[in-house]
Amino acid sequence: MAREQAVKARNDRNGALVEAMLLAAMADGRVTQREMQTLLSRVLERPEFEGTRPDELNALVETSAARLSEARNLEDVLASLRRRLPDHKNRMLAFGLAAAVALADQRATRDELGLLKTFQAALGISEDEVAQIIDVIENGGSLAEALGEPLERLFAEVMVLVSAADGKLQEAEARALVESFAADPLFENVSPERAQSFVSEAVSALAAEGLPQRLHVLAHGLTTHAQRVKAFRLATKIAHAGGSPSHPEQRILDMLQATFGLADDEVARLGREG
């Protein structure tokens, strides 16, 4: 049941992202080949769509186009997008994908710019966030540059993966986790409320996307050796908190070691420190 809900959430989110891009492409009354190429290339670069087969992607685009054609008005569409994109990061992503399509022809029309302003207001995107996203797009960058996870968020997620190694994270465990890393100097600039949001976001992402995808995100977000060692040290600390790591916890540590490319002697040293 939980897996079915996670799959549905993923499909709903991805459908909303595609609809945002299609709306941008159709804003001026015509859809150019360049806009559709941009839509497909942006989809292929995003981890949210990883594992989607070409036929599934075609079906998703067709379903999204049909949904838009049946909508009574733009407000209904925007309400549907908000419902299927409940967190700010995904709303920023939807805006970024729409902006990439609108700017695909190097110059957005008045209608396209108007739609982007409507998206901004409806999805709660700040002026600074808009400026950052547009700057990345105009310079040919990946949206990952504008949507990058805070390092503290990724460090917190590593600890969540170990804590949830047995397949679940109870509310009491989540509170204990927040308290444990809030005291760490790494998180000195993170408020308890923000720490709690990091944990909640990590749990939701794990449920919606699965462990392999989250390891992929961590590998792309923690790029330096120092960051990876720091993350693995935090994971080891959580795994050893109650004594020796359980079998599921050790499995997560082994997967993190492989993901981060850490040597056995380095891992052994971190284990002794933990």
Q: What is the DSSP string of 214-227?
A: HHHHHHHH--SHHH
Give me the half-sphere count of Cα atoms (radius 13 Å) on the Cβ side of residue 50.
12
pLDDT computed for residue 123 by the predictor: 92
Following DSSP, what letter does each residue of 38-92 receive, concatenated?
A: HHHHHHHH-GGGTT--HHHHHHHHHHHHHHHHH-SSHHHHHHHHHHH--SHHHHH
User: 1-147 domain in CATH 2.60.40?
Assistant: no
| 1-147 matches 151-271 in fold | yes
Residue 238: what pLDDT? 82
Task: Note the CATH number of domain 151-271.
Answer: 1.10.3680.10
Q: Compute CA 32 distance to the chain's CA centroid, rounded to the nearest angstrom.
A: 29
pLDDT in tens, the chain (274 residues): 456 776 788 888 999 999 999 999 888 777 888 888 888 888 877 877 877 788 888 898 899 989 988 988 999 999 999 999 988 888 999 999 999 999 887 777 888 889 999 999 999 999 988 998 998 888 887 777 677 666 788 888 898 898 888 776 656 556 667 666 667 777 777 777 777 778 887 888 888 788 888 888 888 778 788 889 989 988 888 888 777 888 988 999 999 999 999 999 888 888 777 5
- Among 237, 217, 228, 234, smallest CA distance to 263 is for 228
Provide the 8-state DSSP code for 188: T
pTM of the model as a whole: 0.59
Ranges of each domain in the chain: 1-147, 151-271
